[in-house]
Structure 1
Amino acid sequence: MNIPILYEDNHLLVVEKPVNMPVQKDKTEDDDLHNFLKRDLKIRYQKPGNVYLGLVHRLDRPVGGAIVFAKTSKAASRLSDMLRRRVIHRKYLAVVRGVPLKREATLEHYLVKNRRKNKVFTTSPGDKQAKKAVLDYEVLDVTGDMSLLSVELHTGRPHQIRVQLAETGCPLYGDQKYGGHTNKIGEQIALWAHYLQFEHPVKKEPVSFHSKPPKKHPWTQWSTGAWHHPNFVE
């Protein structure tokens, strides 16, 4: 398998995650990105013994795009702290069914996960098990009955973008779990981790990385003009 490397130094490894590959091992026992990259580092650098690779954040299995791993424990600790302080900027591109009522907005919900069903639900702020979820979105373009959105995460809850956008009445294209009433079986979820920006945990300088979605439907509906929007980072 060819995993595109977006950036690598002694402290960081930023790659483009393939769609439908779990970030870490799950009950399916399918090959996961974390262990795949550890094996790759071991071979490329001929390292004896176990290879350290810190898992900093995750992407849902159906989602592709930019993801960062830490090659040292120091980098992992500092990146994890940045996540807690919300100073790692994560932008996604999303194709949704319908057109949001507002061109741009901040969405705030309280989410609770049903682990047995592996599904997340919105709930009231008073629910002791709930966690607050916050994101910003902006509509980049609309074609037919679908919209292209730029989404910036401020929290990292499971299935967050999928649940929050579905709650607005605009589920992600291809999302069976949260938009089964409008999506067909076999459609690939159209959510892509497009942009990462943060301060390098060791060099203390700003770094940014971006990844373009695949040239497949429904992304190809926006192959020209929309990609020049300021929120699409080249």
Structure 2
Amino acid sequence: MKEFVINQNDAGQRLDKFLSKAVRLLPKNLMYKYLRLKRIKVNGKRSEISYRLQEGDKVSLYINDEFFGSDKPLFLSAKPDINVVYEDENILLADKPQGLIVHEDEGEDVDTLINRVQHYLYLKGEYRPEEELSFAPALCNRIDRNTGGIVIIAKNAAALRTLNEKIKGRELRKFYLCLVKGVPRLEEATLTHYHRKNEKENLAEIFERPRRDTKTMVTKYHVLQTNGRYSLLEVELMTGRFHQIRAHMAHIGCPLVGDGKYASNWKEKKLGFSYQALYSYKLQFAFQEECMLSYLNGKTFQVERVWFAENGIPGVLSE
């Protein structure tokens, strides 16, 4: 028998959601069966799967030890190297380098941003997996492997819930720098088009008018510098669509330098552009209501260095 005492980070969850994280090796069909058979109890009694756990509840599991596992945490195999933009007791803003994935995928299951962050916090003594039943520091937003910039990490469950709510309500403003081919027709504009993800080709399709299966896509941009052939832009996302900036800029005839999916990039690769010139470089908190993170409201955080924009348009593109 194994018993969990629910702590602050675990409280508020449905019982089945908690069990799926705390006992990852337990198949769902067995979980439901054991709940029916009272081999999983809450405070000594049979419980519904929809019961929301409260701090101090005791969850008792009369199941085989094999379902609990004993291997060391995966994150200990990742490097604890991260570039911290900002950090406090609730959140961490990390500057993700281009080429690093944020979560595990089929080809990479160790060296990810979240594993690096968890290892970093573990070494600081701020994340103790042996004391946590179901919570682990978690990412609140994602950016593509080949895009760099600010990723938000919640250090506790309350911060995670708050940030997820604020992101859903568009109360965080995200700004990107990108280097594009050509010069946009207007120095600054708010673009509105219609977006559809092509799952088969893994790319975004953009349309001038809405279709039955499209979603509205809104992107604001401002030209910071141009030499007539290339332009450096600041872009703010007003919606969060798949490949939004890359696809939207390509749609108006100004694809990103180094982007091989929405344009040809063979020339830029020879000039040292291994990735598309796109960086999530600035984040502003713009909360509309009081919350546990209100001390951040109105604050702006920015990465110190964006490799393709340190001194304006790179010299290799000025010729």
TM-score when scaled to structure 2? 0.64
Aligned to 2:157: 73
Quote the offset at 1:9 in angstroms: 1.4
Worse-superposed segment, 182-191 or 129-138: 182-191
Aligned to 1:90: 174
Code of the residue aligned with 2:86 in structure 1: it is Y
Asked if 1:32 corresponds to 2:112, the answer is: yes
> Against the structure 1 CA distance between its residues 181 and 63, is the aligned structure 2 distance closer, same or farther, given a 3 Å change threshold?
closer
Q: Using CA pairs below 8 Å that are at least 6 residues apart, which structure has the higher relative contact order?
A: 1
Quote the offset at 1:199 in angstroms: 5.0
Asked if 1:22 corresponds to 2:101, the answer is: yes
Quote the offset at 1:221 in angstroms: 4.9
> Against the structure 1 CA distance between its residues 124 and 144, is the aligned structure 2 distance closer, same or farther, given a 3 Å change threshold?
closer
Cα distance in structure 2, aligned partners of 1:156 and 1:13: 21
Quote the offset at 1:40 in angstroms: 2.1
Q: Deviations along 1:76-130, whole A, 9 cap, x unmatched?
A: 1211121222110111111000000000000112211122322111146543332
Cα distance in structure 2, aligned partners of 1:11 and 1:183: 44
> Would you say how many aligned residue pairs link Structure 1 and Structure 2?
222
Asked if 1:193 corresponds to 2:285, the answer is: no
Q: Which has the larger radius of gyration?
A: 2
Asked if 1:222 corresponds to 2:312, the answer is: yes
How big is the alpha-carbon RMSD for the aligned residues of Structure 1 and Structure 2? 2.4
> Against the structure 1 CA distance between its residues 12 and 199, is the aligned structure 2 distance closer, same or farther, given a 3 Å change threshold?
farther
Asked if 1:127 corresponds to 2:211, the answer is: yes
Listed as ranges, the matches of 1:41-120 within 5 Å are 41-45=121-125, 47-49=128-130, 52-120=136-204
**SS of 1:66 mapped into structure 2:** strand
**SS of 1:171 mapped into structure 2:** coil
Cα distance in structure 2, aligned partners of 1:124 and 1:199: 31
* Identity across the alignment (%): 34
Q: Could you tell me which runs of 5 or more consecutive residues in structure 1 were left unpaired when the two chains were aligned.
A: 225-234
Cα distance in structure 2, aligned partners of 1:85 and 1:32: 28
Cα distance in structure 2, aligned partners of 1:133 and 1:52: 33
Worse-superposed segment, 86-95 or 121-130: 121-130
**SS of 1:177 mapped into structure 2:** coil
TM-score when scaled to structure 1? 0.85
Structure with higher strand content = 1
Listed as ranges, the matches of 1:150-165 within 5 Å are 150-165=234-249
> Against the structure 1 CA distance between its residues 121 and 81, is the aligned structure 2 distance closer, same or farther, given a 3 Å change threshold?
same
User: Structure 2 residue aligned with 1:4, among 65, 83, 103?
Assistant: 83
Worse-superposed segment, 136-145 or 47-56: 47-56
